[in-house]
């Protein structure tokens, strides 16, 4: 063993189960470096794309607090994601409508930044899909900027096919996994 | 983790050059349908401890040779002769009767405290002559690597090509449900033994690749945003961020000499291939078109690079000179061509082809000719060559909600397709060079 003690993160820690036994090894306490992470992609997706048009501003039961992160998704149509065709990164008219609403909201509530995440479905090689996700994220970011959102509030990241929201391997599942996700975070959080 | 134990080897006794009269000729270029029958009795020992080591060593040698499908290890229960001293010629007739083409007889001898000598002789049963004789001096604890090195020597003596048994595989260990995967870099011996995690933490890591000349890897990690390429020396544990670029860097791969790497970098949605000099850390842009240029891989002489690009429509394979000049499309079949990897022998390029809803692992010559599909399935990815360029490891993922990711291997001829045992689900295999 020639590991330096410095590299906590690098210690070969828990040995994996050695044999073909099915049980997973127990969790092993280990030092883990403190790293600023992006907010994880939501595990539970808001569900099918139910379009709830933005309602007039009146007291409305069930409506999120205006200006909250939940309100963002609610206002832009129920879903902070826009969707792409297979192997495409151009924005559909529907996606443009959604992004216009996103841009309006972002301009109204300046106390947020956003990480625009690009995602791909599983039907591609890992590295190509990371590239494709980057193009999708860039399409979304560019459109938001064209609608007047300050570019300094937007960063992009591609997750390729690494962070699917739908586990199904069918047309519906793939369609939901091909998206650009405007992931808000309160100003001051990186 | 790496057993930095001296492992001396020496040719010993009776060692004759591989004479022209040798009877065994193993051709591994055609995919032999009939594996060569080989007898590997447990190595001899003078006491219970050395006998136990001898049995373990012979067992690993048998497993290695058998796993190649080039050899068939005969059942020790069928052996007629029980040798008591490997310095005498075996009774060849007894081995011919059980149809052994080759015989490996070895012994373990106690050396200074904690150390042993492991010796073996490889016999051509039909010619009645020794093909190889080797002595290793090592610690008793290092018996497993001694067995791998012995199997490599046997493989080389009988096929004329370098072996690959004393090598390891880095991969991405995968846990959790499909919509919430946890991934960690891990390493194990080539035969699946001794798996260990390489990094703590749970940052997403993608596509590790080995320096062909050392135990150093590069990979992409989401530890930082945008994600970037990192380098990790497996023996020292030293990890290094290879530059903080404004756009993500990914799909890294070492040059054959290990002094540079190629990788893709994103700038405003455009993805091009860059070369990074690892001494100066300077980068040089190699492609300039507006398409996605990704998954670059050097030829073993370092003069050419193969990569995939969608500059002409769906992704296809291209080669170019190492400075980016003279790009040339080499794939022309139906479907999409991805993830090319130049063989360490230089004679083939492995790739992933998508066509008609399936993924295939295939090989072609560097000029694009002689394309051959080796295997296909719902989702295949990340081909990685064995150090001798004879076997391709890859990722296979099943479809649906309960999709599983596994490592599989297939040889260059499309034979010997099989799953590689891993502790859990696994993706992104990277085969190390032979250990020292």
* Any domain includes A115: yes
Name the H helices within B120-212.
143-159
Helix (H) or strand (E) holding B426: strand B425-431
How close B83 comes to chain A (CA, Å)? 33
- Closest-CA residue to B233 (of B205, B213, B249): B213
Residue B207, CA distances (Å) to B155, B183, B217, B231, B295 in order: 30, 11, 10, 12, 10
- Report whether A167 contacts B401 (CB < 8 A): yes
* Any domain includes A142: yes
Q: How confident is the model at residue B7 (pLDDT cuts 50, 70, 90)?
A: very low
* Any domain includes A77: yes
Task: Closest CB to B197: pick one of A13, A38, A163.
Answer: A13
- Determine what percent of chain A is predicted with pLDDT higher than 70: 67
Q: How confident is the model at residue B109 (pLDDT cuts 50, 70, 90)?
A: very high
CATH of the domain at A97: 3.30.1330.60
Give the mean pLDDT of B141-169: 97
Q: Which of A1, A12, A25, A137 has the highest number of chain B CBs within 10 A, making it the mutation to test binding with B?
A: A12
Is residue B11's pLDDT more than 80? Answer: no
How close B298 comes to chain A (CA, Å)? 17
Task: Closest CB to B179: pick one of A4, A87, A167.
Answer: A167
**Which has the higher per-residue pLDDT, A56 or A93?**
A93
Render pLDDT for B170-179 as a digit per residue (tens, 0 to 9).
Answer: 999 999 999 9
Contacts of residue B249 in chain A, CB cutoff 8 Å?
none
Give the mean pLDDT of A115-138: 98
Say if the Cβ atoms of B196 and A7 lie within 8 Å.
no
A190 to chain B: closest CA residue: B225
Contacts of residue A89 in chain B, CB cutoff 8 Å?
269
User: How does the average pLDDT of chain A come out, rounded?
Assistant: 78
Q: How confident is the model at residue B34 (pLDDT cuts 50, 70, 90)?
A: confident
B404 to chain A: closest CA residue: A167
User: How does the average pLDDT of chain B come out, rounded?
Assistant: 92
Amino acid A43: pLDDT:
47
Say if the Cβ atoms of B195 and A16 lie within 8 Å.
yes
Amino acid B31: pLDDT:
56
- Report whether B231 contacts A62 (CB < 8 A): no
Is residue A184's pLDDT more than 90? Answer: yes
Is residue B20's pLDDT more than 50? Answer: no
- Report whether B113 contacts B65 (CB < 8 A): no
Q: Topology of B8-159 in CATH? A: Rossmann fold (3.40.50)
Q: Reduce the DSSP state of residue B286 to 3 states and report it.
A: coil
Give the mean pLDDT of B30-54: 90
Say if the Cβ atoms of B423 and A17 lie within 8 Å.
yes
Render pLDDT for A57-89 as a digit per residue (tens, 0 to 9).
Answer: 555 667 899 999 999 999 998 899 999 999 999
- Closest-CA residue to B402 (of B368, B378, B383, B374): B378
CA–CA dist B218, B250 (Å, integer): 10
The dihedrals phi and psi of A40, each to the nearest 5 degrees, come to: -65, 150
Give the mean pLDDT of A20-27: 37
Amino acid A188: pLDDT:
78
Residue B218, CA distances (Å) to A35, A96, A121, B34, B182 in order: 20, 39, 25, 39, 20
Cβ atoms within 10 Å of A71's Cβ, excluding its own = 15
Say if the Cβ atoms of A43 and B179 lie within 8 Å.
yes
Give the mean pLDDT of B54-82: 96
- Report whether B45 contacts B86 (CB < 8 A): no
Say if the Cβ atoms of A32 and B238 lie within 8 Å.
no
How close B157 comes to chain A (CA, Å)? 32
Say if the Cβ atoms of B400 and A125 lie within 8 Å.
no
Give the mean pLDDT of B8-12: 42
Task: Closest CB to A125: pick one of B198, B236, B352.
Answer: B352
Q: Which of B200, B295, B378 has the highest number of chain A CBs within 10 A, making it the mutation to test binding with A?
A: B200
The dihedrals phi and psi of A123, each to the nearest 5 degrees, come to: -85, 60
How many structural domains comprise chain A? Answer: 1
Task: Closest CB to A128: pick one of B220, B232, B292.
Answer: B292
Render pLDDT for A159-178 as a digit per residue (tens, 0 to 9).
Answer: 999 999 999 999 999 999 99
Is residue B148's pLDDT more than 90? Answer: yes
- CATH code that applies to domain B168-431: 2.120.10.30
Please state which of the ranges A38-47, B111-120, B333-342 shows the lowest mean pLDDT.
A38-47
Say if the Cβ atoms of A131 and B264 lie within 8 Å.
yes
Q: Reduce the DSSP state of residue B424 to 3 states and report it.
A: coil
Task: Closest CB to A126: pick one of B271, B381, B401.
Answer: B381
Amino acid B2: pLDDT:
35
**Which has the higher per-residue pLDDT, A138 or B4?**
A138
B198 to chain A: closest CA residue: A12
**Torsion sign across C-alpha atoms B149, B435, B405, B334:** negative
Say if the Cβ atoms of A128 and B232 lie within 8 Å.
no
* Any domain includes A170: yes
Say if the Cβ atoms of B204 and A159 lie within 8 Å.
yes
Q: What angle, 0 to 180 degrees and rounded to 10, lies between the N-to-C axes of helices B143-159 and B48-67?
A: 40
Q: Which of B292, B340, B401, B429 has the highest number of chain A CBs within 10 A, making it the mutation to test binding with A?
A: B292
- Residue A161's domain comprises 69-186
A32 to chain B: closest CA residue: B201
Residue A143, CA distances (Å) to A136, B221, B399 in order: 11, 28, 34
- Determine what percent of chain B is predicted with pLDDT higher than 90: 89
Residue A157 region by backbone torsions, left for phi larger than 0, else alpha for psi between -120 and 50, else beta: beta
A19 to chain B: closest CA residue: B423
Amino acid A40: pLDDT:
46
Amino acid A63: pLDDT:
85
A86 to chain B: closest CA residue: B314
Enter the tokens of residue B201: 């933490």
Amino acid B78: pLDDT:
96
Say if the Cβ atoms of B179 and A165 lie within 8 Å.
yes
Contacts of residue B201 in chain A, CB cutoff 8 Å?
9, 32-33, 35
Amino acid B133: pLDDT:
95
A25 to chain B: closest CA residue: B423
Please state which of the ranges B25-34, B115-124, B422-431 shows the lowest mean pLDDT.
B25-34
Amino acid B28: pLDDT:
62
Is residue B3's pLDDT more than 60? Answer: no
Give the mean pLDDT of B337-341: 98
Amino acid B199: pLDDT:
82
How close A26 comes to chain B (CA, Å)? 13
Task: Closest CB to A157: pick one of B4, B196, B227.
Answer: B227
Enter the tokens of residue B86: 């490997």
C-alpha B68 chain-centroid distance: 12
Contacts of residue A35, defined as CB under 8 A and 6 or more positions apart, other chains included, come to: B201, B203, B223
CA–CA dist B380, B43 (Å, integer): 41
How close B196 comes to chain A (CA, Å)? 5
Q: How confident is the model at residue A44 (pLDDT cuts 50, 70, 90)?
A: very low
Q: How confident is the model at residue A36 (pLDDT cuts 50, 70, 90)?
A: very low
Long-range contacts from A52-60, C-beta under 8 angstroms, 24+ separation = A52/A77, A52/A78, A53/A77, A54/A101
Q: Which of A3, A7, A10 has the highest number of chain B CBs within 10 A, making it the mutation to test binding with B?
A: A10
What's the pTM? Answer: 0.86
Amino acid B188: pLDDT:
98
Is residue A41's pLDDT more than 70? Answer: no
A133 to chain B: closest CA residue: B269
Say if the Cβ atoms of A24 and B177 lie within 8 Å.
no
Q: How confident is the model at residue A19 (pLDDT cuts 50, 70, 90)?
A: very low
- Report whether B362 contacts B353 (CB < 8 A): yes
How close A55 comes to chain B (CA, Å)? 32
Give the mean pLDDT of A145-164: 97
CA–CA dist B396, B428 (Å, integer): 10
Say if the Cβ atoms of B294 and A127 lie within 8 Å.
yes
Amino acid B436: pLDDT:
84
- Closest-CA residue to B395 (of B421, B362, B428, B430): B428
CA–CA dist B261, B218 (Å, integer): 9
**Which has the higher per-residue pLDDT, B34 or B186?**
B186
How many cross-chain Cβ pairs, A to B, lie less than 8 Å apart?
174
Contacts of residue A26 in chain B, CB cutoff 8 Å?
none
C-alpha B74 chain-centroid distance: 25
CA–CA dist B154, B165 (Å, integer): 11
Q: Report the complex ipTM.
A: 0.92
CA–CA dist B221, B226 (Å, integer): 9
Domain boundaries, chain B: 8-159, 168-431
Residue A34: exposure state from Cβ atoms within 10 A (0-12, 13-18, ≥19): exposed
Q: How confident is the model at residue B55 (pLDDT cuts 50, 70, 90)?
A: very high
Enter the tokens of residue B410: 């297939």
């Amino acid at each position: 063993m020639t590991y330096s003690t410095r590299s906590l993160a690098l210690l070969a820690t828990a040995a994996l189960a050695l044999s073909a036994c099915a049980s997973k090894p127990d969790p092993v306490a280990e030092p883990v470096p403190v790293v600023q992470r992006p907010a994880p992609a939501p595990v539970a997706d808001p569900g099918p794309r139910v379009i709830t048009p933005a309602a007039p501003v009146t007291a409305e039961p069930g409506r999120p607090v205006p200006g909250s992160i939940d309100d963002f998704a609610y206002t832009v149509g129920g879903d902070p994601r826009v969707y792409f065709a297979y192997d495409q990164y151009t924005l559909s008219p529907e996606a443009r409508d959604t992004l216009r609403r996103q841009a309006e909201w972002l301009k109204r509530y300046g106390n947020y930044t956003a990480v625009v995440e690009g995602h791909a479905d599983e039907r591609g090689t890992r590295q190509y899909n990371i590239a494709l996700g980057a193009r999708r994220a860039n399409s979304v970011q560019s459109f938001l900027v064209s609608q007047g959102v300050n570019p300094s509030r937007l960063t992009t990241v591609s997750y390729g096919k690494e962070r699917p929201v739908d586990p199904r391997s069918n047309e519906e599942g793939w369609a939901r996994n091909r998206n650009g996700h405007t992931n808000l975070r309160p100003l001051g959080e990186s | 983790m790496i057993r930095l134990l001296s492992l001396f080897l020496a040719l010993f006794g009776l060692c004759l050059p591989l004479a022209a009269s040798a009877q065994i000729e193993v051709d591994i270029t055609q995919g032999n349908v009939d594996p060569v029958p080989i007898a590997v009795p447990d190595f001899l020992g003078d006491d219970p401890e050395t006998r136990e080591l001898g049995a373990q060593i012979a067992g690993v040698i048998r497993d290695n040779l058998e796993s190649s499908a080039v050899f068939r290890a005969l059942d020790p229960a069928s052996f007629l002769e029980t040798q008591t001293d490997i310095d005498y010629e075996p009774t060849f007739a007894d081995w011919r009767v059980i149809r052994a083409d080759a015989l490996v007889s070895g012994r373990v001898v106690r050396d200074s405290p904690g150390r042993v000598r492991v010796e073996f002789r490889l016999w051509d049963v039909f010619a009645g002559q020794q093909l190889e004789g080797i002595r290793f001096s090592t610690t008793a604890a290092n018996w497993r690597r001694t067995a791998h090195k012995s199997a490599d020597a046997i493989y080389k003596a009988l096929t004329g090509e370098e072996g690959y048994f004393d090598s390891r595989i880095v991969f991405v260990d995968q846990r959790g449900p499909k919509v919430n995967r946890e991934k960690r870099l891990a390493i194990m011996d080539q035969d699946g033994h001794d798996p260990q995690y390489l990094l703590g933490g749970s940052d997403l890591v993608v596509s590790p690749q080995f320096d062909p000349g050392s135990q150093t890897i590069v990979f992409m990690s989401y530890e930082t945003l945008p994600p970037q390429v990192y380098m990790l020396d497996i023996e020292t544990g030293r990890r290094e961020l290879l530059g903080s670029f404004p756009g993500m860097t990914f799909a890294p791969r070492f040059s054959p000499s290990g002094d540079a790497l190629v990788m893709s970098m994103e700038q405003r949605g455009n993805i091009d291939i860059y070369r990074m000099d690892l001494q100066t850390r300077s980068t040089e842009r190699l492609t300039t078109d507006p398409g996605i240029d990704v998954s670059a891989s050097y030829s073993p002489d370092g003069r050419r690079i193969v990569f995939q690009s969608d500059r002409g429509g769906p992704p296809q394979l291209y080669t170019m000179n190492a400075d980016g000049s003279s790009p040339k499309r080499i794939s022309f079949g139906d479907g999409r061509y991805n993830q090319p990897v130049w063989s360490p022998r230089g004679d083939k390029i492995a790739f992933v082809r998508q066509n008609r809803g399936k993924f295939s692992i295939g090989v072609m010559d560097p000029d694009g000719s002689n394309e051959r599909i080796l295997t296909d399935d719902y989702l295949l990815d990340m081909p990685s060559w064995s150090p001798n360029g004879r076997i391709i490891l890859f990722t296979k993922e099943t479809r649906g909600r309960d999709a599983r990711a596994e490592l599989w291997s297939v040889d260059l001829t499309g034979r010997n397709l099989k799953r590689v045992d891993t502790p859990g689900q696994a993706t992104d295999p990277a085969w190390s060079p032979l250990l020292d």
